[in-house]
Structure formats: C-alpha cells, structure tokens
Chain A
Amino acid sequence: MMTDLDIFRTDTRAWLAANCPPEMREPVRSEKDATWGGRKPDFQPGQKEWMDAMASRGWTVPDWPKAYGGGGLSPAETKILREELAAIKARNPLNSFGISMLGPALLKYGTEEQKLEHLPKIARGEIRWCQGYSEPNAGSDLASLATSAEDKGDYYLINGQKVWTSYADKADWIFCLVRTDKTNKQGGISFVLFDMASEGVSTKPILLISGYSPFCETFFDDVKVPKANRVHDENKGWDVAKYLLGHEREMISGMGLASTGRNPLIDGAIATVGLDHDGKLADPLLRASIALFEVRAKAFGMMSERFIDELKAGRAHPAQPSMMKYYGTELNKSRHELMMAAGGSDSLEWESERSSSGAAPRAWLRTKANSIEGGTSEVQLNIIAKRILDLPSA
C-alpha cells in the first residue's frame, strides 16, 4: 500500500522531471554555474526558470513555514525532496546567505514583521544578502569588532569598516554586527539589517590567489539605519551571531561533499593516469591516497547524515557544527589537493577554454579559505576542546 510519503515521493519525482531544465542537471563547473538571484541577477540559461519553479512551491526553503515563502514540508518530506533532487543530479536552485544564514536566525529571533518582510524575498531569490561580521582587527576574535552604531532616537548612525564581506559588491542587503555599547565586549553588540544602497555604504573587492574577488572591504560612513531593522534586543546581537555562525559552519562543512555516486576525482584520475591490466589506477600511490581519502569522505558523508538527523531531533550537541566545519573543510582541502595531483599538467591551465577558465586550480585555491572563513580550524578545535571535551581554559 502507498503511504503518504510514497505518494509524496512519486509526485515530487514527476514534478521535478517536468520542471528541472536539462541545463540544471549538468555538474557545476565553475562559479558562474551557481544561481544567486537578487536585484542584479546574472542568470545563465535555465537558472531563472529553475529558481522560479522551485520557489513557486516554496522548495528553495522546503522546511520553512508556507507563510514565509517556504514549502512547509516535514523533515521526512524534506529528506525525500533532497533525495529526489540528488537522483536527477539537480543543481541547487538558489545559493543564498539568506537561506543558509540569515533565515534561520530571523526565524528564531526576528519579529513577525521582520519575518514577513524578509523571508519570502529570500525564498524567491529577490534579495541577495551579505554578511557584515569580520573587521580588520576582529577576525577570529570577532567580539572585538568596532563598527559603531550611535543611538539617534529612531535610528542608528553607523560608522566603520568590515572586511571579507562575501559578495558585498553584488548584495542588495546586509546583516551586520555593530557596536552599541563600547564598555561591554560581547554584551555590547547589536544585529542590524540594512539596504546596501543606503547612503554612505561603499564596497571594494579584494583580489584573491584564485584570481577571483568574492570578498570585499565594506565601508560605512554615517549610514542611517532605522531601529526597527534591529533583530533581537539591543546589545544582544552576539546571541543572534552565534546562532547564525552555527548554521554557517554547517553550510561550509557540506560544501563540495553533497554529491552522490562516484567521486569525480576518481574519473579524473582514470582519465589522466589510466588503468593497468588489472583495472587498477596505473599510479599505485595515487590510487592508495585516493582510496584512503574515499574512506574518510564516505564516512564523513555518513557523519553528515547523522548530524542532520540529530539536529532535526534536537539531539545534536550545540557545538557539533564546529566539528563538522573542521572536519568537512579539512577533508575538502585534501580532496582538491588530490584532484590537482590527479589532473597533472592539465589541471594547471588557468585561462584556457578547455579548462573552463581554470576551474580546477581556482576551485583548489578557493578551498584553502574554507578552513579560515567562518572561524578557522584552530578556532573550531578550541570550541570542541572547551565545549564538548570540557578541557580547562589556560
């Protein structure tokens, strides 16, 4: 007998088959293959259709309530949707810091007005968000941030500088940590939202070793932000920030490891090195490195599944995202190191069409930031040591 979930799976499969454009079932090859939406979208063929189709069902954020643009799906239905998307190798319909970071924080700490104003636009990919956390002197020691928000009655006057603001030059709005009390380090921070088109906001891209500039320096010069745009209480922004960081770490930990089926690394190695007469990779040491890497990658995939199951059931240790972030990003770095080794001289081409404008080396270089952004690996290890293992402070 068909259960409700069986019916849901059948219907979902049929709908995806009919609505997922063929271009959106191709592997992601470079950064432009990711769909971001926003006021100034840069859509490739198929991207807008796919994003809009998914958003029309609330499936860009399947487990959010329908009232906020979500799909209202249960955890079991969400899992089925993810499985069916994976089965047709569908691309993510919408990449969004609004979905992965701000949304969960607004759902927990936002007012009803804030939720109704911002969440549906995030779900539909209408507004692209960036995150204003780090400053030149507040990276790993984030709570030292200095960007000031002066109380002017019904608005704050914001002055200061942010750094490593991902895609600030392409974002429409920013969620931003500002200092509302200079006398209290963690207890003097507030969490505010404002339009990047506001007067006094300017951005400057930072060129990275990958040749891209996903990050920016962001400057605030007498920016007026209405107090109604503050999320949670004044001076309580650190709670929101920490909650959001947990989600950011989850997101980063999963990057590049969500794929199903055979690791492209293996196909890449076979293509360059070839198989010997026993059907084994002709470079035995590369083969051994890949095989041992695969053990960890597959086991980490199982860990990710366990982590999601535990999160849904409210059983995960609150510091576990640190472990996921640490392990996932270190693993991703090893994967790209192996991909470079497997690709040989072909994977060194930086600009050629054949190399999709150096997609492999640029992605390899990009992964090196994974263990720095969102809290360095060392910061995550500190958190695990103190909050999970309960080791004493110095």
Chain B
Amino acid sequence: MPLYLNDEQTMLRDTTRDFVAEHAPVSHMRALRDAKDATGFSRDLWKSFAEMGFTGILIGENDGGLGLGHVEAGVVLEEIGRNLSPSPFLSTAVAAVEALKGTALAGRWFPGIISGDTVAALAIDEAAKHRGTVAMKAERSGNGFRLSGKKQFVTHGHIADLIIVAARTAGSADDEQGITLFAVDKGAANLTSEAERLADSSLAARLTFDGVEVDADAVIGEVDAGSDPLNRLLRAGRTGASAELLGVGGGAMDLTVNYLKERKQFGVTIGSFQALQHRAAHLYSEMEVARAAVLKAAQLLDEGDEKADAAVSVAKAMTALATTLSVQEGVQMHGGIGMTDEYDIGFYMKRARVLAEMFGDANFHADRLAIAAGY
C-alpha cells in the first residue's frame, strides 16, 4: 500500500476538514472553556459525529459501523487536533472500540457508541507518568469481581457511560500477565470520581474504586488475559493520539506561517527574515517526517502487521517531538501576542502538552523501542 492517502481517504479528509472546521473550530473550545462547561465537550457535537458515521468508524459494517480502519480514524483525529475540538472520539470510537472488538461485550456497547449516546473513558493510568504498571486489584466476589484501587488522567471519566478499567487478577504490579480488563457501568456503587480541569481546559478524572462490585460478564475478553484487549486499546489509542498531535502541530504551524506572512516589522513582513524562514522550514521538515510515521503506523495496524507495534511507538514519540517544536516555535514567532489568551496559538501549546503525555510520552516510547531492540 503506498504511503499516502488513497482517493476515498482523501475524500473523507476533505469532508471531515470542512465539517470540523465549521462545527467545532477553536472558538468552540474557547466558548466551552469560557462557560466553564462541566461536561468538557458538546453532546450535540458528539451526536453530529454519530450522524456523520464517525462514531462507528472502526466498528464493522455487520455491527452497524463504517468498517473502516486506523488510517481513516487518524484522518478524523487529525482534524480534531487541528481545530482543538474537545471530543470523546479518541477514547470512545477508537480506543474503547478496539478493546471491545471481537469480544462478547461488543453487542452490549457498540449500538450506544454508534448512536452517539455512549461515551467511554479509559482507566489505565495509576501514576503521573504512563507505564505498564497495574496495581489495582480485582478480587473474585460472588458471581463477579470486586475492584479496589485508584486511577488518574481518565479523560471524560466524570461523565462517561462506560469506563474501561485495567485491574490485576493475578501476579504483581509490574507483571504483564495477570491483568484483566473490565467494562464498568456509569454510576457503579463505591466508585467516586473527582474531575480536574487540565491546562488545556479539558477535564480528566481521578477515580477511586473502593470495592466496586462488577458481574463476571463485565470482563472484556478473558480473565488474566487482559493484556490482549489492553494492548489493542493502547495501539489504537497511541496511533490515534499521534494523529491528533499531528493535527495540533500542523494547525499551529499553519497559524505561525500565516502570521509570518502578515506581521510587519522594520517595514517588511517578518516572514522575509532568513532567521525565521530557516526555523519555519526546519519545523516543516519535522512535521513531514512525523506525518509519514503516523500514516505508516496506521497502515501497519490496519494490515495486522507484526511491525505495527514498533511503528506505533515511533509515531507517538515522533509526533510528540515535532508538535512540541511546532507549538514552541509558534508562540515564539508570534512574539508578545503569542503569550496572550486572546490569540489561539497558546491553546495549541497546552493541548500538545496533554496529548504528548497521553499513552506515554516521547521518552517512554523511545525507551520501549530500545528495549525491543535489545539495549
């Protein structure tokens, strides 16, 4: 498969680009923030996503979805990133769907996701840095399990209808085996959530599971074999977050390059200064390399290639590096107004930082690649 978007994917991109720019531009996020919106996104917009078919993008046609792949999901996420649109798309339509796909729980949750009624959250992180550790306990209790422990950085966790939880049914915290993935319903007893607003004005919850009882049929896949669905979730989530980062970095670069063409100092547009041209051209190069990495990861994932896992880490690390550069250069080249709340460029910087941290930062993924390569 050639490493560029085919005609159908290009059409999807154009459609999505128009749709997101019209219904959820940066001003949409700004308005939600200014209103101190407690949900963190617009339910109406999520319904519109459902009407467009986006919510079922990774769900098979037999289950009522579009039956498309990670390349297409990435196309949507890039536009979400470019417009800084608050949306549960990544957690729900991408990561949660991939975890549930092919399991007995797909029939239970997919219809609500497709219709835009269900929002999913991912309770997988237990510390301020993403890592493989799962200490949360899931002990057998009656016909099901009792969950005890804490999770954090759970985007949409305070309002989600479905919370996907990684817990330990065997072994110790750093073991890869012995993890079980659970689909926990909204409003489960003994589950408390504390929503925190983050730097980018999105909301993430700290969840406390104080003996939360779930039935045996809440298990996603098999008991003790949760690393399978969890790895599917992570590969999809990381690839999706990379695509969204690409959009954030690309959006910031566009703002910056346009600004260089408009802003005058010393009687000329600042974009004619070689010092700034070289930095802009370097930034362009980094973003192009990141773009190739994202598409490669998504294609390999869609092909079920064994090299996908490494490519996903390359994509997540590379987009974090390139987008961090893009937002830093963006604020710098905008000068003083880049520091003002009134201009959008600062929003890009904040969103990039959140996405860089999500599912593992550049260091985490570089380390992961190094371990896989045996050093």
Contact = CB atoms under 8 A, between A and B. Distances in A.
B284 interface: yes
Interface in A278-319: 279-281, 287-288, 290-292, 294-296, 298-300, 302-303, 305-307, 309-310, 312-313, 315
A313 B2 contact: yes
B68 interface: no
B358 interface: no
Nearest to A326: B285
A87 to B, nearest CB: 14
Interface string B278-294: 10111011001111110
A391 B4 contact: no
A266 B277 contact: no
- By secondary structure, the B interface counts as helix
Interface stretch (B190-198, B348-356, B361-369): B361-369
Given A287-B375, A305-B296, A296 B318 contact: yes
A80 interface: no
Given A305-B292, A384-B281, A292 B362 contact: yes
Contact of B278 (A270, A281, A378): A378
Nearest to A278: B371
B260 to A, nearest CB: 6
Interface in B250-265: 257, 260-261
B279 to A, nearest CB: 9
Given A296-B318, A306-B3, A306-B295, A391 B260 contact: yes
A366 B3 CA distance: 32
Given A270-B375, A300-B289, A302-B296, A294 B366 contact: yes
A391 B370 contact: no
Given A287-B375, A291-B366, A300-B289, A305 B277 contact: no
Contact of B366 (A292, A305, A394): A292
A391 B375 contact: no
Interface string B309-338: 011001101100100000000000000000
A144 interface: no
A299 B292 contact: yes
Interface stretch (B206-214, B215-223, B266-274): B266-274
B375 A306 contact: no
Interface in A355-392: 378, 380-382, 384-386, 388-392
Interface string A266-280: 100110000100011
B280 A385 contact: yes
Interface in B22-54: none
Contacts of B272: 391-394
A266 B375 contact: yes
A173 interface: no
Interface string B293-308: 1011000000000000
A262 interface: yes
A327 interface: yes
Interface residues of B, number: 46
B128 interface: no
Given A305-B296, A394-B272, A295 B278 contact: no
B142 interface: no
Interface residues of A, number: 47
Contact of A309 (B4, B288, B321, B369): B4
Contacts of B260: 391
A323 interface: yes
Contact of B289 (A299, A392, A393): A299
Contacts of A382: 274, 277-278, 281
B324 to A, nearest CB: 12
A111 to B, nearest CB: 33
A388 B274 CA distance: 15
Contacts of B311: 298, 302
B11 to A, nearest CB: 16
B191 to A, nearest CB: 37
A17 B154 CA distance: 54
Given A291-B367, A292-B366, A313-B2, A303 B278 contact: no
26 contacts: A270-B374, A281-B370, A291-B366, A291-B367, A292-B363, A292-B366, A294-B369, A294-B370, A294-B373, A295-B362, A296-B321, A299-B318, A302-B289, A302-B295, A302-B311, A303-B292, A309-B3, A313-B4, A323-B284, A326-B282, A382-B274, A384-B285, A385-B277, A386-B277, A391-B261, A392-B272
Interface of B: 2-4, 257, 260-261, 268-269, 271-274, 276-278, 280-282, 284-285, 288-293, 295-296, 310-311, 314-315, 317-318, 321, 362-363, 365-367, 369-371, 373-375
Given A315-B4, A388-B281, A389-B280, 19 more contacts: A263-B373, A266-B373, A270-B374, A275-B375, A290-B370, A292-B321, A305-B3, A306-B296, A309-B2, A310-B2, A323-B284, A326-B282, A378-B278, A380-B281, A386-B277, A391-B277, A392-B261, A393-B272, A394-B268
Interface of A: 262-263, 266, 269-270, 275, 279-281, 287-288, 290-292, 294-296, 298-300, 302-303, 305-307, 309-310, 312-313, 315, 323, 326-327, 378, 380-382, 384-386, 388-394
**Shortest 5 CB-CB contacts between residues of A and residues of B:** A385-B277, A384-B281, A306-B3, A291-B366, A303-B292
